[in-house]
Chains A and B, each alone.
Chain A
Amino acid sequence: MRILRYVRIDPDTVRLDGVPVPVTGRGLELLSELYRNRVKDYPKFFKMDLLCKLGFIAAELLVGDEPDRFVPREDRAVLLVSRTGPLCDDRNYQKTIAEDAYFPSPALFVYTLANIVTGEIAIRNKYEGDTTAYGFPSFSAGMLVSVVKVAFTDRVTTSALCGWVEAPDSDHFEAILMLVDDTEGDGMEFNPENILKIKLNQR
């Protein structure tokens, strides 16, 4: 399996295929800036919670210029791993159901489900294949590779947007998203060593 493209985003830096992407804002503003510069025409972005914004923008950077994008396809999976999942939105929704101010927000509640980020990416790109949100006790490049390789035994899946999306609050988040496929050959092997290099901004 090969890593075809990769991106890493944290509150201060963005690197696409190892090349720094210039940004001026930080945190949530950094994500909004990427939206304005790279997407522009998908206002649903502003309804999303932090985890979805992060995963969505990372996916946009990876596949935004892919040929035949938006043609429905079943062969591409979306496989995302997190530790705390939608904890940030859990906090926001919890505030709407306080004892003395009970006004539960359906718009916030929906995003408290860990897999909505995979659904948002699938909807945007018309990916009709496997979409799954996994949870790890902590980041592990080895376990990430194992999980994605297991998911690739699906008979239809030939490529995936996969990786780590962790966003406990707007000052602390990290996306390591990769476009991988099941071919062998030249390029970057999908293995723990390469994922760790991406994580450490060494690639």
Chain B
Amino acid sequence: MNRKRVIATGCNIVSPLGFTAEENFQAALSGRSGVTTHTGTFGIPEPFGASLFDRSVISGPDGGSHCLFESILLLSIRDAVLRAGIDPASPRVAFVISSIKGNVEVMDADEAAVPVSVTAARIAAFFNNPNPPLVVSNACISGLTALIHAGRMLQGGRYDHIVVAGAEVQSRFIVSGFLSLKAVSPLPCKPFDAGRSGLNLGEAAATMVISAVDTCPDDAWELVDGTTRNDANHISGPSRTGEGSYKALRYVLASCRPEELAFVNVHGTSTLYNDEMESIALHRAGLSEVPVNALKGIFGHTMGAAGILESVVSMQAADAGVVLATKGFGQTGVSCPVNVCAGNRPACGRAFIKLLSGFGGCNAAMLFRKGGAQ
């Protein structure tokens, strides 16, 4: 029996820039950013750059009974499931949810509601899904590890579709933590730029419904291959040799030729260490010539949503024949040569790699290819 192929069948992004994948892609295409400088938000004494929801305009699918974290997840999943045309209550459907800090903003009021597994169970119950949901919480690569794991679940044949959804809501907890690590810029971030001075945080939920098929249709995006690798170096600093990112890239490059790649959509957080590390990993993997872009200047760092959100935007960009600009980038500020796209550029190729890195030393890469293109 041939191994099942895995394709994306329904996508959504809910962010401060829009409530559908299309709206968010159009924002990215036109360079519209959700990032602003916040002063006093969450009662935090230092200014910080972030893309945050207007709390007054978000409500869950049945009115006010859900917190923000649950509301954006439910809205995102509902739209993606409708687009995929699947029955989320089927036993042949499973839910995989990615987030780093989930509902941590309710820590003082309702500690029992904080674990992401608690929210995941409520989400699966909302859609009457009979299977226990799986949570992936792998720091900043959570969304990509969730897609990789869910894709492998489909190849096993037990499920027909998996709803992979990631979300992050910002809070006093998370923002103060990243500020204490001196990782946050009060101004819009500048990935790979010589003048970069830290990241912007972001809020979003993103969903990709993925489905098992025997042959990949020409008009579908296939999740071809992906893996997670550790630097085995430091819990909060990336490897100086880009070890884990390089190994993850090498793994997925076994399934494609670099010439096929329209671009590599990198992590590009705009911290000194991350972008430098990625330039080393890309160089070691032989990808110095391939166009590279990062979306953090548009959406901020959406943490547990990032892997899914940035993959969904990248699929749409490749469909539109464009390598999206790296907003904020001007002059290269990393030591290895890397082909960072400053402005929107025509894309050549029907495949791309999504790359992410996170605390705990983890890194993930995933190869996406438009069906029938190989």
Contacts and interface: CB of A to CB of B under 8 A. Distances in A.
Nearest to B136: A134
Contacts of A143: 132, 134
Contacts of A83: 115, 117
B227 A128 contact: no
Interface stretch (A21-29, A103-111, A178-186): A103-111
A147 interface: yes
B361 A123 contact: yes
B235 A110 contact: yes
A128 B136 contact: no
A105 B173 CA distance: 11
What is the interface of chain A mostly: helix, strand, loop, or mixed? Answer: mixed
Contacts of B359: 110, 113, 115-116, 119
Given A93-B177, A109-B181, A137-B117, A123 B232 contact: yes
Contacts of B358: 115
Contacts of B231: 122, 128
Contacts of A136: 117, 132, 134-135
B100 interface: yes
Interface stretch (A2-10, A32-40, A151-159, A189-197): A151-159
Given A132-B138, A133-B136, A102 B229 contact: no
B149 interface: yes
A137 B227 contact: no
Interface residues on B, range: 35 or more
Interface string A136-177: 111010010001011101111000000000000000000000
A104 B358 CA distance: 21
B121 interface: yes
B135 A135 contact: yes
A106 B135 CA distance: 25
Contacts of A155: 227, 251, 254
Contacts of B251: 155-156
Contacts of A135: 115-117, 120, 134-137
B362 interface: yes
A105 B134 CA distance: 30
Nearest to A152: B152
Contacts of B153: 150
B232 A115 contact: no
A165 to B, nearest CB: 12
Interface in A118-133: 118-120, 122-123, 125-133
A84 interface: yes
A5 B45 CA distance: 50
A90 B107 contact: yes
A151 B138 CA distance: 14
Contacts of A102: 45, 176
Contacts, number: 175
B118 interface: yes
A137 B139 CA distance: 19
A156 B252 CA distance: 12
Given A74-B247, A97-B173, A113 B360 contact: yes
A11 interface: no
B328 interface: no
B41 interface: no
Which one of A115, A138, A151 has the greatest number of beta carbons of chain B within 10 Å?
A: A115
B156 interface: yes
A122 B232 contact: yes
Which one of B120, B176, B178 has the greatest number of beta carbons of chain A within 10 Å?
A: B176
Contacts of A84: 114-115, 117
Contacts of B137: 85, 113-115, 133-135
Given A134-B137, A136-B132, A136-B135, A110 B236 contact: yes
Contact of A122 (B107, B180, B247, B361): B361
Interface string B104-135: 10011001001111101100000000001111
A149 B156 CA distance: 10
A106 B180 contact: yes
Contacts of B108: 94
A72 interface: yes
Contacts of B362: 115, 118-119, 131-132
B230 A122 contact: yes
Nearest to A99: B43
A154 B230 CA distance: 14
B132 A132 contact: no
A198 interface: no
Interface of A: 72, 74, 78, 82-85, 87, 90-91, 93-94, 97, 99, 102, 104-106, 109-110, 112-116, 118-120, 122-123, 125-138, 140, 143, 147, 149-151, 153-156
Given A106-B180, A110-B236, A132-B145, 16 more contacts: A82-B117, A90-B104, A90-B107, A90-B114, A97-B176, A99-B43, A109-B181, A131-B138, A132-B136, A132-B138, A135-B120, A136-B117, A136-B134, A151-B149, A155-B227, A155-B254
14 contacts: A72-B232, A93-B173, A102-B45, A115-B359, A116-B235, A116-B360, A118-B230, A125-B232, A128-B229, A128-B232, A129-B230, A132-B362, A134-B136, A151-B152
Interface of B: 43, 45, 100-101, 104, 107-108, 111, 114-118, 120-121, 132-139, 145, 149, 152-153, 155-156, 172-173, 176-181, 227-236, 243-244, 247, 251, 254, 358-362
